[in-house]
Amino acid sequence: MKKVKSKKKWIAIIAIVLVAGLVVGLYFKSKTGASAMEDYDIGVEAIPLAKQDLSDSINVTGKVESQNVWVATTEVEAKVKELNVSLGDRVEVGDVLCTFDETELREQIKEMETQIAEGKAQEDAERQATINEAQTALNSAQSAQTSLVAEAQAEVDAAQKAYDDGKKDDELSKKDLADLKDALTAAKKNLTEVTNDAAAQVASAQTSLDNASASTSSTSSSSVSDLNKLKRQLNELTVVAEQAGVVTQLNVSKGSIPNGSLMTIEDDSALKVNVGISEKDILKIQEGMEASITSNALPDEEIKGKVTQVINFATSDSAVPSEEGSTSSGASYSANIDIEPGSKLLLGMSVKVNIMISNEGESLAVPYDSIAEDEDGNSFIYRGTDNGDGTYTIEKVTVTVGNKNDYYTAIDGDVAEGDIIVLYPEMVAEGDSVALSVVDGTTDLSYESEGETEEW
């Protein structure tokens, strides 16, 4: 596609040309007089009206990744007996990746079973001894309860008899009778206290016995859990692939003891590209947009892709990739582009991705600087008609503007391909006869904006 310059650069160029023309004009005037100045014309820039591709796209870069990544993990803490894959190997679902040596694992299980059995026997013996002690304490409390209550009851009975006999003795003074009554009351109170205390002692002893009988192993439970884990590992001594793909990371070797992760397998039949998107472009990207992918490894191929995910939050201080492969620091958004199946791209390849924002196709279009508005708000351009003597007569043509990209705007009206269009309408007026400097439509122009260069 052609490259075109921004308005800012064009204005700078025209200004330089005008200044140069003015200097030359003044020079001619000083040397030859006013007539020479009138015959001199530096020309106004114009272009032939042509069709332009108004499609809009964003160019980014990225690396080929897999859509499906599976990490093989294990709980087995044993040596790798056989390793059947190497880095870069391709595997299918169900392929045996590695096996573990069960010798040490079975020895660990046997040793732990012995430890658990011995521990359980010791705990059972200690538990039974505790139960026996609690039972003895309960028996003692019950015996004491019977004895103490009987003794207190006998005191109450004796005090009751003495008081009853005193009431029958006419010679007994009132004071002595009152003392006998107080003794009876004290005996009854003591019986109540002794009964309650003895019952409390029995209840406490019964609780201790119940707790001892209900107690369970405190140390063997964790050991049993560890034993069960080892037994599960016996069923995991063979690791098989759960998805097809390429071994892209290998964390074990024959004879090594793994630490959780064994290897990573990436499906190379379902590929994607993760690309960084700049802040100025992220709102243009939507899921479902078509993309074309190219690689230096496949210079003659253009591979189709589709935006499947737009990650619309920024990662701070990250590298933002550019089309040229350089990076800049700052916030970056990203998107995932799924690659059509059957491509020859390999995992890890660097690629260029052109995301199609809009596919408008070709239309008659002019640089947006060529379009002006009249007092009524109507859009117009200036067209030059060749007079055959090196000058052009300027004609105002009302147009309707259509789709546009960063430089070109589509126009419709009484215009045709090949018409000579003035680039900067502010430099002419309708009816003027001026020399036009017509820029060849095939000329390779560059479009520069705020330090960035883009191709069209």
Q: Is the domain of 158 the same as that of 77?
A: no
Distance CA 421, CA 176 (A): 144
* 335, part of any domain: yes
Question: Does one domain contain both 332 and 369?
Answer: no
**Alpha carbon of 153 to those of 161, 195, 332, 399: distances in Å?**
12, 10, 94, 125
Residue 233 belongs to some domain of the structure: no
The residue with greater pLDDT, 26 or 290, is: 290
Residues 159, 215 share a domain: yes
The domain boundary, picked from 342, 358, 374, lies at: 358
Report the helix count and the strand count for the chain, using DSSP H and E. Answer: 5, 25
> Residue 344 above 90 pLDDT?
yes
For residue 364, give every residue at least 6 positions away whose Cβ sits within 8 Å of its Cβ, in sequence order, or none.
49, 50, 51, 52, 410, 411, 412, 415, 417
> Are 217 and 130 in the same domain?
yes
pLDDT in tens, 104-125: 888 888 888 888 888 888 888 8
**Among the three residues 299, 334, 358, which one is the final residue of a domain in this structure?**
358
Domain of 258, CATH number, reads: 2.40.50.100
Contact 392, 420 (CB under 8 A): yes
Residue 96 corresponds to which amino acid? V
How far apart (Å, rounded) are the C-alpha atoms in residues 231 and 243? 26
Location of structure tokens 């369970």: 216
Q: Is 404 left (phi over 0), alpha (psi -120 to 50) or beta?
A: beta
Co-location of 248 and 316 in the same domain: no
The residue range of the domain holding 29 is 7-55+361-454
Residue 10: the pLDDT is 44
CA distance 385 to 396: 11
Contacts of residue 112, defined as CB under 8 A and 6 or more positions apart, other chains included, come to: 223, 226, 227, 230
Question: Residue 68: what pLDDT?
Answer: 96
Q: Which helix (H) or strand (E) segment is 254 a member of?
A: none
64-78 pLDDT, tens per residue?
999 999 999 998 888
Q: Are residues 157 and 125 in the same domain?
A: yes
Residues with Cβ within 8 Å of 190's Cβ and at least 6 positions away in sequence, in order, are 152, 155, 156
Residue 232 lies inside a defined structural domain of this protein:
no
pLDDT at 220: 62
| Confidence category of residue 171, pLDDT binned at 50, 70, 90 | confident
Does pLDDT of 443 surpass 60?
no
Helix (H, G, I), strand (E, B) or coil at 277: strand
Q: Which of 331, 358, 385 is the last residue of a domain?
A: 358
CATH number at residue 410: 2.40.420.20
pLDDT of residue 29: 41
- Whether residues 162 and 129 fall in one domain: yes
CA distance 193 to 101: 72
Would you say 257 and 233 are in contact if contact means Cβ atoms under 8 Å apart? no
pLDDT level of residue 83 (50, 70, 90 thresholds): very high
- pLDDT tens-digit series, residues 226-276: 888 888 888 889 999 999 999 999 999 999 999 889 999 999 999 999 999
At 163, is the secondary structure helix, strand, or coil?
A: helix
The CATH number of the domain where 312 resides is what? 2.40.30.170
Do 323 and 428 have their domain in common? no
Query: Is there a contact between 364 and 50 (Cβ–Cβ < 8 Å)?
Result: yes
Is residue 148 domain-shared with residue 207, that is, in the same domain?
yes
Number of domains in the chain: 4
Indicate whether 112 and 202 sit together in one domain. yes
Tokens 């009431």, located at residue = 167
DSSP letters, 382-449, are: EEEEE-SSS-EEEEEEEEEEEEE-SSEEEEEES--TT-EEES-GGG--TT-EE-EEEPPTT----EEE
Which residue, chain included where needed, has tokens 């011995």?
118
Running DSSP on this structure, what letter comes out for residue 349? -
- pLDDT over threshold 50, residue 449: no
pLDDT one-digit tens code per residue, 345-391 = 999 999 999 999 887 788 999 999 999 999 999 999 999 999 999 89
Question: What is d(CA 430, CA 37) in angstroms, rounded to the nearest whole number?
Answer: 23
Of residues 77 and 89, more confidence is placed in 89
Q: Report whether pLDDT(54) > 60.
A: yes
Q: Is residue 36 included in any domain, yes or no?
A: yes
Share of the chain above pLDDT 70, in %: 82
Q: What is the mean pLDDT of residues 178-204?
A: 95
Q: What is the mean pLDDT of the chain?
A: 84
The confidence score (pLDDT) of residue 42 equals 52
CB 56 within 8 A of CB 281: no
Residues 11 and 36 in one domain: yes
In terms of domains, do 134 and 196 share one? yes
Helix (H) or strand (E) holding 245: strand 245-250
Helix (H, G, I), strand (E, B) or coil at 179: helix
Say which residues have a Cβ less than 8 Å from residue 76's Cβ, sequence separation at least 6.
Answer: 100, 105, 233, 236, 237, 258
Secondary structure element (H or E) that encloses residue 177, with its range: helix 174-214
- Residue 109 falls within a domain, yes or no? yes
Contact indicator for 49, 362 with CB cutoff of 8 Å: no
Which region, left, alpha or beta, applies to residue 99 given φ > 0 means left and ψ of -120 to 50 means alpha?
Answer: beta
Euclidean distance between CA atoms 35 and 28, whole angstroms: 9
